[in-house]
A and B are shown apart, each in its own frame.
Chain A
Amino acid sequence: MADLAHGKPDQRGLSHAAGADSHGVGTRRDFLTIAGNALAVVGAACVAWPLIDSMNPAQDTLAAGAPVDIDISKLQPGQQIVVLWRSRPIFVVNRTPDLLQTLQQPQDLALLSDPNSEVLQQPGYAKNWNRSLQPQYLVLVGICTHLGCIPSFMPQANSVGPGWIGGYFCPCHGSRYDLSGRVYSGVPAPYNLPVPPYRFLNPTTIRIGENPPNEADFSLDSVVQI
């Protein structure tokens, strides 16, 4: 079909499409056929786009991704609540000073794969030792960076095994994270748990999905891996 030129019909009425072009190049028929075919191909490509785009999230789905507000006034120290934002679980943890301490012990940091949160898995304002705006409150997207399961919240020491200092354990393939969502080396999950954009409306209300004023815009779409 790549051969666009055609000879005259011979006695049998069949043209030899390949190799029988006696007109040489640049005849008007060639031009018209090529132009016609080109237009048809462009047209077909334009037709494909609406079909593809119709499978992208619709306006109502996008609107349902609007920010959600979480009341943390009743969140007890050491506890976690889970809310849905954009159909994804968001973990919010009230970390006790004891738990926060586990995040800074050098012997534990040595076991982490990305202790300084170098990989873009969090907004700039959460790229710190506690991966949060206020150390007391941890906010994470609760989706394992391996294959998407929801890691379990295991704050108790030794609850996952001897030497466990508290953190997240993924039931699917055993990935482990510490209590700031940083992944340990040598487990299937490659990256730290993502931190969504969020801000404090007041000391007891967190809004998920909106950056703090005066902070650079961060969108969850930009993280390396959810």
Chain B
Amino acid sequence: MRRLFPAALGAALLLCAGGAWAQEDAPDAPHQDWSFAGVLGTFDPGSLQRGFQVYNEVCSNCHSMNQLHYRDLAGIGFDTAEIAAIAAQKQVQDGPNDQGQMFMRAGKSSDGFVAPFANAQAAAAANGGAAPPDLSVIVKARGKGLEYLWGMGGPDYVYGVLNGFQDKPPAGFNLPQGKYYNEYFSGHAISMPPPLADGTVQFQDGTKSTLPQEAHDVVTFLTWAAEPKMEDRKRTGAKVIIFLLAMTGVLYGAKRKVWKDVH
């Protein structure tokens, strides 16, 4: 009792202190199966590349990903030549040249992802006053902190929003001009038109491009993008924890031995 009490109390109190930050004005998006979930979960390579295709062909028309560089795509399995080709499709501003002028050139793999708008003001002006957020860490920014362990929070939410558009708002819902009804977006009125539908992209690997498939793939890609070092982290973690368990076991034995004489 004397020993259990503090522990039980602590656990109970932690439970009641948790779960505090839920958004109450929209339901939680339903939980999906993610390849990256779990203690040793890894990103599904096919899904990552398809997801990049969705971002590149659809989302990148409005959303920047300022933290990423084309060279980072090596992390989703593209080789040097493929990356150079992807980058070369983009026009990048460089300069000043010898005449002091800025100029445009083809992208290189060391360049950052080219943003669709020059600045936040331009982005807002082109989108009815609401600037599309940068997507580099969107999954973590909308998360509950557990997305890379259980895939909860951010990935489910982004997936929910991409699938959660409804043509007609429920009766009695007053949808402002230029907004779209979304089941999982906080407040339900979102400025983004439904970006994906069946067949929006043609997957190069022949996967059928249904809306759920596209959404699933792009969310996998965005989750990778938010933390490209996740697989490293889990792999290192497994080793560290096994090591610590062994070390602690030995130390426990040593402690028992040393203290045996005392009482």
User: Do A and B truly interact?
Assistant: yes
A224 within 8 A of B: no
B103 within 8 A of A: no
- Tell whether, in the assembled complex, residue B109 and residue A32 are in contact, meaning their CB atoms are under 8 Å apart: no
- Tell whether, in the assembled complex, residue A40 and residue B109 are in contact, meaning their CB atoms are under 8 Å apart: no
- Tell whether, in the assembled complex, residue B110 and residue A29 are in contact, meaning their CB atoms are under 8 Å apart: no
A43-B243 in contact given A33-B254, A36-B254 (Cβ < 8 Å): yes
A28-B257 in contact given A43-B243, A66-B108 (Cβ < 8 Å): yes
- Stretch from A56-64, A89-97, A107-115, A183-191 that touches the partner: A56-64
How large, as a class, is the contact surface on chain A? Answer: 10 to 19
In A17-69, which residues have CB < 8 Å from any B CB? 28-29, 32-33, 35-36, 39-40, 43, 46, 59-60, 63-64, 66
* Interface of chain A, main secondary structure: helix
* Interface of chain B, main secondary structure: helix
Contact indicator per residue, chain B 227-260, by CB within 8 Å of chain A (1) or not (0)? 0000000000000000110110011011001100
Across chains A and B, the number of contacting residue pairs, with CB separation under 8 Å, is 40
- Tell whether, in the assembled complex, residue A29 and residue B262 are in contact, meaning their CB atoms are under 8 Å apart: no
Instruction: With a 10 A CB-CB cut-off, give which of B69, B244, B250 has the most chain A CB atoms.
Output: B250
A16 within 8 A of B: no
12 more A-B residue pairs beyond the given contacts A32-B254, A39-B250, with a C-beta to C-beta distance below 8 A: A8-B261, A29-B257, A32-B253, A35-B254, A36-B251, A39-B243, A39-B247, A43-B247, A59-B71, A63-B69, A63-B109, A63-B110
Give 25 pairs: A residue, B residue, CB < 8 Å, sorted on A. A6-B258, A8-B261, A9-B261, A9-B262, A28-B257, A29-B257, A32-B250, A32-B254, A33-B254, A33-B258, A35-B250, A35-B254, A36-B250, A39-B247, A40-B247, A43-B244, A43-B247, A46-B243, A59-B71, A60-B69, A63-B71, A63-B109, A64-B110, A66-B108, A66-B110
Please report A residues at the B interface, Cβ cutoff 8 Å: 6, 8-9, 28-29, 32-33, 35-36, 39-40, 43, 46, 59-60, 63-64, 66
